Amino acid sequence: MTHQSPPALTGSSGTATMTAAAGPPPAPAPGTGPGGQAAGRPDRPRGPGRGVRVARAAVLGVGALVMLVPLWVLVVNAFKSEQDIRTSPFGLPLSRLSLSHLADALHNPDFNVVKAYGITALFVVLVNVLSLLVAAPVSYVIARGTSRWHTGLLLLFVAGTFVPSQVLLIPVVYVLKYLGLMGTVPGFVLFETTLTLPVSVFLYSAYIRTVPRELDQAAAVDGAGRLRTFWLIVFPLMRPIVATAVILHTLGVWNDFANPQIILGPGSGLYTVTTGVYAAVGKYSTHYAVVFPNLLLAIAPALAFFVIMQRHIISGLTAGATKG
């Protein structure tokens, strides 16, 4: 039994459809009858044997521990004294836990965590809004277009995925200096937004192709221009894919380090969570009672976001990666 169209997720060649599976192949007849090849081991249950199951459980258990222990160390040590961290880094001395180290970190003169949350959140919002305003219309044109120019435009944007952002950083500094935007919020937001375009345009244009053209035509008949047609008719239907893109870009901007570090620079007084932590923790890297609380405060929002949005983050990344 052969079949020509495997239910493949769109690969790196990127056929831009939203359908994940091209329909399952016809199911083979289960079993080949009592006289068939299956008769060799008739009583054996399907699935792995007992030994395999035990080994698998053991490996997965150890793996899960290896994944969680660093998080455990990070969380519990944020509440312990330097002495307790040194003597028993994995321990949880319930009677001696204290919030004072976290409080110190919140009032760290080198790094105002709350301010960093605010600044980083502002960047996240600005980049997401700008990215949507810029990427959605161009994706609409690409999705509805039929000429080579539209295919070329799509390829051009998608090719941006493979350009390392650190490699762009040096020439972008040159461009931003020329434009007078170096060290400024607009300069940083514009560059960061550009970095979101390849993924956004790819996701959006693939999604818009699944929106029936008849909707556009009906709007046109009613006298709406292209811009109105897009924002009033097509855009409201794009909610799921916009959510995916927002999740991807939020994680990207929140966790970015090199771009804010270089473009905003230490002189601007603007620091994000990552550049702030770098400044604060780098100095005290051997003072664990300072390091752990700062790290915990830095990852807390990302972890909370992950716990709440878990399912969406995973499906969003899956969509972004397999279609991007």
Site for another protein in 153-172 (CB under 8 A): 153, 156-157, 160, 162-172
Q: How far is 269 from 266, CA to CA, in rounded Å?
A: 6
Site for another protein in 278-297 (CB under 8 A): 278, 281, 285-286, 288, 291-292, 295
| In the complex, minimum distance from the CB of residue 95 to another protein, in angstroms, rounded to a whole number | 21
Judged by CB under 8 A, the residue of 117, 123, 254, 271 near another protein is 254
- Per CB under 8 A, 232 contacts another protein: no
The answer to whether the CB of 181 falls within 8 A of the CB of 187 is: yes
The answer to whether the CB of 289 falls within 8 A of the CB of 82 is: yes
| In the complex, minimum distance from the CB of residue 98 to another protein, in angstroms, rounded to a whole number | 19
| In the complex, minimum distance from the CB of residue 169 to another protein, in angstroms, rounded to a whole number | 7
| In the complex, minimum distance from the CB of residue 321 to another protein, in angstroms, rounded to a whole number | 6
User: Residues 44-73: x/- map of binding to another protein (CB under 8 A)?
Assistant: --x-x-------x--xx--xx-xxx-xx-x
Judged by CB under 8 A, the residue of 113, 124, 242, 273 near another protein is 273
Site for another protein in 10-49 (CB under 8 A): 10-13, 20-21, 24-25, 27-28, 30-32, 36-38, 40, 46, 48
The answer to whether the CB of 196 falls within 8 A of the CB of 135 is: yes
Number of C-beta neighbours around residue 271 at 10 A = 24
10 Å CB burial of residue 10 (0-12, 13-18, 19+) is middle
DSSP secondary structure of 29-81: PSS--TTSGGGGSTTPPSS--HHHHHHHHHHHHHHHHHHHHHHHHHHHHTTS-
Judged by CB under 8 A, the residue of 17, 83, 151, 310 near another protein is 310
